[in-house]
């Protein structure tokens, strides 16, 4: 256990430190969610005037939840890019040779993803408050929203780490990023799921991320819905993707 924690701490610290001192790593993970917040909450604010749009805190708050959870997911995705870079530079192979508990490598990257997202999530939240976001939820509700973000970050990070360890090249970037991006935007991004029509409505209802976003919006509004279901879905996803990450690590070990 001590050796596992030693490896985890070392990998996590390196991941967070590299992100902070290297603007090329941390800036995109901040700019993307801020861009979406401005584009969606500002440019599409008239959507709140639709007859059947009912969300008490307003459209900025409605969009903030999506952007907040999106930033959590992308924080995990960008960690996959860092893993791929570590393999291309040769650092990851040296790490595999020197780590006394290699499972701590996965845990370290996951903790690093969380640390990096905490920076991004804080900046996005401050920006939304400046833009006029209203919060109707209690402290417990907001803690639940933060927990959903953590779960989203962990799940996306495990996906990205697993794929990066299987392929061990930055050319895996599209495969790491696109499934997460598509899954996010097949959820109710601009309007509640009840206002969607056609095949988008059908897909959104089957998309597990829909439940997570609806739970987050309910928590921010002080009217929790689907919270237990959302945490269960995130836990199940993390469990499955942890197996993917572990198999990716085993593949990297065999490749030397």
Better-predicted residue by pLDDT, 18 or 115 = 115
CA distance 253 to 179: 26
Better-predicted residue by pLDDT, 50 or 254 = 254
CA distance 76 to 65: 17
Half-sphere exposure of 58 (CA within 13 A, CB side): 11
pTM of the model: 0.92
CA distance 230 to 63: 18
How far CA 78 is from CA of 84, 149, 232, in Å, comes to: 10, 15, 24
The residues, any chain, with a CB within 8 Å of residue 44's CB and separated by 6 or more, are: 59, 63, 190
- The 10s digit of each residue's pLDDT in 4-45 is 887 888 888 888 888 888 877 788 888 888 888 888 776 666
In this model, does residue 48 exceed pLDDT 70?
no
The residues, any chain, with a CB within 8 Å of residue 205's CB and separated by 6 or more, are: 193
Residue 239 pLDDT level (bands cut at 50, 70, 90): very high
What torsion do the CA atoms of 144, 147, 148, 153 make, to the nearest 10 degrees?
A: 170
Which of 99-103, 129-133, 180-184 is least confident? Answer: 99-103
């Amino acid at each position: 256990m001590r050796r596992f924690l030693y490896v985890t701490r070392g990998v996590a610290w390196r991941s967070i430190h590299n992100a902070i001192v290297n603007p090329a790593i941390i800036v995109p993970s901040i700019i993307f969610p801020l861009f979406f917040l401005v584009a969606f909450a500002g440019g599409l604010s008239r959507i709140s005037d639709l007859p059947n749009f009912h969300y008490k805190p307003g459209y900025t708050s409605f969009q903030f939840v999506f952007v907040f959870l999106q930033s959590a997911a992308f924080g995990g995705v960008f960690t996959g890019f860092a893993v791929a870079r570590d393999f291309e530079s040769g650092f990851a192979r040296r790490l595999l040779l020197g780590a006394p508990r290699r499972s701590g490598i996965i845990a370290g990257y996951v903790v690093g993803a969380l640390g990096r997202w905490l920076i991004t999530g804080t900046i996005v939240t401050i920006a939304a408050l400046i833009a006029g976001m209203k919060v109707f939820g209690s402290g417990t509700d907001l803690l639940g929203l933060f927990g959903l973000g953590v779960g989203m970050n962990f799940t996306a990070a495990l996906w990205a780490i697993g794929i990066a360890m299987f392929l061990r090249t930055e050319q895996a970037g599209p495969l790491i990023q696109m499934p997460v991006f598509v899954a996010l935007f097949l959820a109710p991004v601009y309007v509640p799921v009840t206002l969607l029509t056609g095949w988008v409505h059908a897909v959104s209802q089957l998309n597990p991320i829909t439940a997570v976003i609806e739970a987050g919006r309910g928590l921010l509004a002080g009217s929790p819905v689907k919270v237990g279901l959302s945490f269960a879905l995130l836990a199940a996803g993390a469990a499955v993707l942890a197996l993917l990450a572990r198999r990716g690590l085993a593949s990297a070990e065999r490749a030397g």
